[in-house]
Chains A and B, each alone.
Chain A
């Protein structure tokens, strides 16, 4: 295990954590808005609010952690990605800002209006779309090296079927992940109506999520043959992922063990993410940047790893406490307590 691999693994864990937590968050906002439009808000809003309130801040931290960490371990990414991503990431930041601020304004400040709920729901779909562009760019073919530095070819990006497929994948996965999680959460809350509605959403989005994921592997064949070859090499990981996916859908269909269903879903995405990550190795941005030529100096890498371990010793117990108090506290989840300040 070299330091480079360790560094990228650490970042991968946080990116994955962000993908799962943020998906739940973005999807919840969307379903909340959707139910407002279709007149079913009385079913969903309570459950969703109760889950989101104590954790909304923590979600954002995962993202900050990832981008600060990648600059730390791989400083050259600041040059390659920073120069090219100005517009898409700025848009994502603005949407995140509107979303985060309005969440606090409505939850704590009592701004209650349909307009805000819908705005909030829509930003949750645009953010994953604008952030997924980063994954697209990492596949190569959209950045050219000019004298002034790396330049992003927007036209190529916007007309590429690959970038649109990745956008669609991010949307379908977001909705699928959050629907499954919230089904389980609603069931824990003994809120049968919400659980039934969310189960429906989960089953609706399961198909599109798996189809787009498969489609992207096929598209990779034309776009980046080298990456495609490596994807095929780890076919068995994708196979495991599909089996777990089938398990999740089966449990939802039969209305069995929603907690286990969410566990299988996490497993499904873990394997898929792992397979994608392994096949991406060693590139951070094809073909200019690998994890080896962009890695920081040894002294800094060691310091970061030590800081990371020390930080985890602080964070894991705190996170556990948070989960104990809110996610796994029966009284809180079922709404028998009203303890907020």
Chain B
């Protein structure tokens, strides 16, 4: 295996690990907030159902956290094993948020353990809510810190390279790089949005499968409301991200939009296919790209003609961009229709086909998350640190990466199937009707 092979397999393995990890990580960031909100609504409305909702979500959440933790440990170590040269440089410049991420994670781990094992220990439900706050905070902060590291890879700053030596390092400047605000906001909000739609999927699915319990209706309404709020926020922040790219990473924007010639009043290309450098079957929105990039229909947008060939990212990222944006828009529309329909009592809201659409909302939002991350990461190629270090110079020289790729692929297959199976069984064996009856029996037993 030559070095070229090592680079290729290192990239594949990193992509595989991150693509698998991000499913669990996204749920890990968003779900604690949902649990906390459910607990809070339960206390405010004095409604047992919401408290139970929080706890049932928590039980499932523990399974996803476990897989998130172990795959997170895997990527944490793989960064050093597969990209030693990159990590050496990153250690000097961006170690601070990496370090803080572990603290946030630690904090969350402690309080999650406490919350799970103090079930009913305190008479006062508010105490349980207080335990959930650090869980949600820790989860969101670990996302914030790790995204700061990724933002640094897109917009490295806070150090000077003099003859290959690092000097004048400023950890805070490296953290607060230009990519950071839009990226962190986008990652955190999309995690909330995805979690809301994933949980809504569950509620819709139970209603489809014949349970007509009040509990599932409440769960669905709550999560769809949250989904609408967070998906609108996602769209707004997504627009900021586009403006950031136009300003700081024009080659990524141009590749994602198939914008080949620098021009004023640039059209936005939606969908379509690329055929020998020709764009076919695309929808063109006149002035769209100029508006997206600079909020001005006549603004000039830099095209790919301004960059040398070896600095241009792969052009297939356009499809990823389309996929991500389409799903985002669709989910805003779906949740809006559902909420208005519930309020106006439109009959089709309660129909089977509409519920199926809501069941699909969860998987769709996860696909959008994956597409968004691939767009972000592939759009940074050929750089691992934009303008500083090329990906091919960062990889390990070890000849065993291909073997490790097979091993890890097997591991993720086992974890994926295992976690899906366990979650499925958990909720099938203990439907909410059963649990409510059990709790009522417990309470009656306490009265005696």
Are A and B interaction partners? yes
The prevalent SS among residues of A at the interface is helix
Considering the complex, give the chain B residue whose CB is closest to the CB of A91: B407
Option from B62, B87, B96 in Cβ contact (under 8 Å) with A304: B96
Say if the beta carbon of A115 comes within 8 Å of chain B: no
10 contacts between A and B (CB under 8 A): A55-B113, A64-B72, A71-B91, A78-B91, A86-B396, A90-B78, A104-B66, A108-B62, A326-B117, A337-B121
Q: Is the interface of B mostly helix, strand, loop or mixed?
A: helix
A339 to B118 CA separation, bound complex (whole angstroms): 5
Which of B186-194, B204-212, B323-331, B418-426 lies at the interface? B418-426
> Is B65 on the interface with A (CB-CB < 8 A)?
yes
Q: Which residues of chain A from 303 to 328 have a CB within 8 Å of any chain B CB? A: 303-304, 307-308, 311, 314-315, 318-319, 321-322, 325-326
Residues from chain A with Cβ under 8 Å of B439 in the complex:
none
- Contacting pair A64 B169 (CB below 8 A): no
Shortest distance between the CB of A9 and any CB in chain B (Å): 16
**Of A61, A69, A105, A307, the contact of B105 (CB 8 Å cutoff):** A61
Contact of A135 with B by CB under 8 A: no
Q: How far is the CA of A88 from the CA of B404 in the complex (A)?
A: 10
Within the complex, which residue of B69, B92, B114, B134 is in contact with A296, where a contact is CB–CB below 8 Å? B92
B69 to chain A, nearest CB (A): 6
B66 touching A94, Cβ below 8 Å: no
Q: B99 touching A304 by the CB < 8 A rule? A: yes
**B119 — which chain A residues lie within 8 A by C-beta?**
339-341
Bound: A146/B69 CA distance, A: 35
Chain B residue numbers with a CB within 8 Å of A56 are 113
Q: CA of A94 to CA of B107 in the docked complex: distance in angstroms?
A: 25
Q: Which residues of B contact A91 (CB under 8 A)?
A: 407
A97 touching B71, Cβ below 8 Å: yes
Decide: A314 near B59, CB < 8 A? Known: A93-B73, A297-B169: no
Question: At the interface, yes or no: B126 with Cβ under 8 Å from chain A?
Answer: no
- Is A82 a contact of B63 with CB atoms below 8 Å? no
Task: Using A100-B73, A105-B419, A322-B114 as known contacts, list a sample of 19 further A-B pairs with CB atoms less than 8 Å apart, ordered by residue number in A.
Answer: A54-B117, A55-B113, A64-B73, A68-B98, A71-B90, A73-B95, A78-B87, A90-B78, A90-B404, A96-B70, A100-B66, A100-B70, A103-B66, A109-B426, A297-B92, A299-B169, A300-B169, A315-B106, A326-B117
Residue B171 at the A interface, CB < 8 A?
yes
Minimum CB distance partner of B91 in chain A: A75
The answer to whether B109 has its CB under 8 Å from any CB of chain A is: yes
B interface residues (Cβ-Cβ under 8 A, vs A)? 3, 55, 58-59, 62-63, 65-67, 69-74, 76-78, 80-85, 87-93, 95-96, 98-103, 105-107, 109-121, 134, 166, 169-172, 396-398, 400-401, 403-404, 407-408, 411, 414-415, 418-419, 422-423, 425-426, 429
A97–B76 alpha-carbon span in the complex (Å): 13
Interface residues on A, range: 35 or more
Residues of B within 8 A of A303 (CB): 96, 171-172
B118 → chain A closest CB, angstroms? 5
In chain A, positions 64-119 with a C-beta closer than 8 Å to chain B are 64-65, 67-69, 71-76, 78-87, 89-91, 93-94, 96-98, 100-105, 108-111
Q: Which 7 A-B pairs have the closest CB atoms?
A: A75-B91, A104-B66, A72-B95, A109-B422, A82-B84, A78-B87, A148-B397
Contact A61 B109 (CB under 8 A): yes
**If the complex has contacts A69-B99, A72-B98, A90-B81, are A101 and B89 also in contact, measured as CB distance less than 8 A?**
no
Please give, as numbers and ranges, the residues of chain A lying within 8 Å of B89 by CB-CB distance. 75
Beyond A57-B65, A101-B67, A108-B63, whether A75 also contacts B92 by CB under 8 A is yes
Which residues of chain A have a CB within 8 Å of any CB of chain B? 53-58, 60-61, 63-65, 67-69, 71-76, 78-87, 89-91, 93-94, 96-98, 100-105, 108-111, 148-149, 151, 296-297, 299-300, 303-304, 307-308, 311, 314-315, 318-319, 321-322, 325-326, 332, 337, 339-341
Residues of B within 8 A of A314 (CB): 103, 107
Q: Contacts A94-B407, A101-B70 given; indicate if A68 touches B99 (C-beta within 8 A).
A: yes
Which residues in B have their C-beta under 8 angstroms from that of A54?
113-114, 116-117
Determine the chain A residues whose CB is within 8 A of the CB of B398 once the complex forms: 83-84, 86-87
In the bound assembly, the distance between CA atoms of A292 and B115 in angstroms comes to 43
Decide if A83 touches B166 in the complex (CB within 8 Å).
no
B-chain residues with CB within 8 Å of residue A308 when the two chains form the complex: 99
Is there an interface contact between B76 and A64, defined as CB atoms closer than 8 Å? yes
How distant is B244 from chain A, measured CB to nearest CB, in Å? 26
Of B95, B103, B169, the contact of A311 (CB 8 Å cutoff): B103
